[in-house]
Structure 1
Amino acid sequence: MNKTRFFVEFGAGMAAYVIMLIGSLLLVAGGTVTGAWATVVSLLPTLPALGVAIAVMRQIRASDELQRRIQLEALSLAFAGTALITFSYGFLENVGYPKLSMFYVWPLMAVLWIIGGILSSRRFR
């Protein structure tokens, strides 16, 4: 898969995600949908997010061995770092720290993935 196709798929997926997220938030917060439909509408943004995940997986599959290794190392750091940080904070919640939303987990993992990618790619210069 070439980079242009990846960026088009990724960009379109992210744009659809943002549009569906804003729409679902407005519909639910405005009381337009309630009950079981509110649950369905709240989950609608996950559909384009799935498309983004598929685009990323396809790009990794199409990468050469070095890029795959870099991504594996980056994701390994992101996975382990997210686990350590979230578990540690969970223990801190037991002693009075404020509860955090699950919405913080993915951005944390994304930041650690970027850091892992930078560190790993530097190793292979």
Structure 2
Amino acid sequence: MQPAARVYVREFGLAMALYVVVLLGSVRALQSLEPGPLRIAVTLLPMLPVALALMAYLRFLRRMDELQLRIQLEGIGFAAGAVGLLTFAYGFLENVGLPAFPVIWVFPLLIAFWGIGTGIAARHYR
């Protein structure tokens, strides 16, 4: 594994471990909190480690060579296009009675399609 990848795996792994701890803590704390600003703040606490993970990824992008950066760009483009098309189409389907699409699934969909797109791009450049 390249040094940049090792640093990324460490930073991302720590952010995800922190995410699990904060998520579990916030879920537990929410059980005893009354509605109000504190409850909203505690609900959003897991976003802090997610932001740390994003910053780790952005630092990783800056350390990549041109080919790896191109592969990532194609993966991101594929993900944005696929999720855009899917959610746009589903928006039309909501007009004919399908249930509303939960917005919380947009980011996981982006990540999943980014993985698919990155795999396709990496295979293309072999």
TM-score (norm 2): 0.93
Q: Are residues 86 and 121 of structure 1, via their aligned partners in 2, closer, same or farther at CA, if it must alter by over 3 Å?
A: same
Q: Whole-Å Cα distance in 2 between the matches of residues 64 and 33 of structure 1?
A: 50
Q: Whole-Å Cα distance in 2 between the matches of residues 58 and 16 of structure 1?
A: 19
Q: Whole-Å Cα distance in 1 between the matches of residues 80 and 28 of structure 2?
A: 32
Please list every run of 5 or more consecutive structure 1 residues that lacks an aligned counterpart in the other structure: none
Deviation at 1:19, TM superposition (A): 1.2
Would you identify which runs of 4 or more consecutive aligned residues in structure 1 move more than 2 Å?
A: 31-34
Question: Are the aligned partners of 1:71 and 1:117 in contact in 2 as well (CA < 8 Å)?
Answer: yes
% identity of equivalent residues: 40
**2:112 corresponds to:** 111
Q: What is the number of equivalent residue pairs in this alignment? A: 124
Q: Whole-Å Cα distance in 2 between the matches of residues 70 and 51 of structure 1?
A: 23
Question: Are the aligned partners of 2:83 and 2:110 in contact in 1 as well (CA < 8 Å)?
Answer: yes
**1:89 corresponds to:** 90
**1:2 corresponds to:** 4
Q: Does 1:49 align with 2:50?
A: yes
Question: Are the aligned partners of 2:11 and 2:53 in contact in 1 as well (CA < 8 Å)?
Answer: yes
Residues 45-69 of structure 1: CA deviation (Å, up to 9, x unaligned): 1111110000001111100000000
Q: Whole-Å Cα distance in 2 between the matches of residues 81 and 16 of structure 1?
A: 30
Question: Are the aligned partners of 2:4 and 2:64 in contact in 1 as well (CA < 8 Å)?
Answer: no
DSSP 3-state at the match of 1:88: helix
Q: Are residues 93 and 5 of structure 1, via their aligned partners in 2, closer, same or farther at CA, if it must alter by over 3 Å?
A: same
Residues 16-65 of structure 1: CA deviation (Å, up to 9, x unaligned): 1111112112221x133531100111111111111000000111110000
Deviation at 1:94, TM superposition (A): 1.0
**1:63 corresponds to:** 64
Please list every run of 5 or more consecutive structure 2 residues that lacks an aligned counterpart in the other structure: none
TM-score (norm 1): 0.94
Q: Does 1:99 align with 2:100?
A: yes
The residue identity in structure 2 corresponding to 1:85 is: L
